[in-house]
Amino acid sequence: MKHKNKVVFVTGAAQGMGLAVAKKFVSEGASVVAVDINLEAVETATAALGENVLALACDISDSLSVRSVMDKIEERYGRLDVVVNNAGVGSVDAFLDTPDEHWQRVIGVNLTGTFFCCREGGRLMHKNGGGAIINISSTAAVSGEGPSHYCAAKAGVMGLTRSIARELAPSGVRVNTIVPGPTNTPMMADIPDEWTNQMIAGIPLGRMGEPDEIASVASFLASDESSFITGQNIAANGGMAFL
């Protein structure tokens, strides 16, 4: 029960890694506020997890939506210990044909949304006197193997993490980035088999990651076992890239 009595906020918790993260923290004793842009999906997905999960609607790309959830957290629990910024979106666009709206959406959710949750969650943690923020980037940010908006947003998450890790350290808040490689989630299910097989061929461990394997890293980074780690990129990618 590593996270007993902690309050944990997880974004994009209706499926994939976000749902695995929510499950992991509940199993380790936390109260989890599981948010997603799709309320019905997050309610259904977390229904079996019991009364330690509060499923709420939140569009992380809208600062008012994020603020309103944080207000609810403060009212209900009076504190916040962990933020896991997992929600993300992709879009398949060749660079020269990238429409403005696709650029704005991918940056708006993956980077600006992460910023809103860090800022609003960070304010609550500052009041508590400590906490942990875990942001999710992607190996694509380092390899460049992905659409421009996605790679730019995920590289931006790393810079954001480093800056706020320095600034929030005196408040006892640690901030780190998990950098997953290809992971077996609904996001990957949309990709043609041929591409998936090509990706797997480049992974020394010979398979995609599982969402639970990312959740374990999040749990570690939120725990006292990582008490001297802040501002870092932690890769979980089967050895496909070295940061």
Ligand X SMILES: NC(=O)c1ccc[n+]([C@@H]2O[C@H](COP(=O)([O-])OP(=O)(O)OC[C@H]3O[C@@H](n4cnc5c(N)ncnc54)[C@H](O)[C@@H]3O)[C@@H](O)[C@H]2O)c1
State the minimum distance, in angstroms, from the CB of residue 194 to ligand X.
16
Answer for the pair 116, 164: CB distance below 8 angstroms, yes or no.
no
Restricted to residues 14-33, the positions that interact with ligand X (CB under 6 A) are 14-18
Instruction: Compare residues 17 and 173 and give the one whose CB is closer to ligand X.
Output: 17
Instruction: Compare residues 131 and 180 and give the one whose CB is closer to ligand X.
Output: 180
SS3 category, 2? coil
Dihedral-angle region of residue 72 (phi above 0 means left; psi in -120 to 50 means alpha; beta otherwise): alpha
Q: Token digits for 15? A: 């499926």
Determine the Cα–Cα distance for residues 118 and 87; give it in Å rounded to an integer: 13
By CB under 6 A, which span of 48-56, 80-88, 160-168, 216-224 interacts with ligand X? 80-88
241 binds ligand X per the rule CB under 6 A: no
Determine the Cα–Cα distance for residues 142 and 27; give it in Å rounded to an integer: 33
By CB under 6 A, which span of 2-10, 21-29, 58-66, 219-227 interacts with ligand X? 58-66
**Cβ neighbours around 52 below 10 Å, total:** 15
State the minimum distance, in angstroms, from the CB of residue 73 to ligand X.
15
Annotated active-site residue in 25, 115, 116, 150: 150
DSSP 3-state helix, strand, coil percentages of the chain (rounded to 5)?
A: 50, 15, 30
138 binds ligand X per the rule CB under 6 A: yes
> Which residues are designated catalytic?
150
List contacts with ligand X (CB under 6 A): 11-12, 14-18, 36-38, 58-61, 86-89, 109, 113, 136, 138, 180, 182-183, 185-188
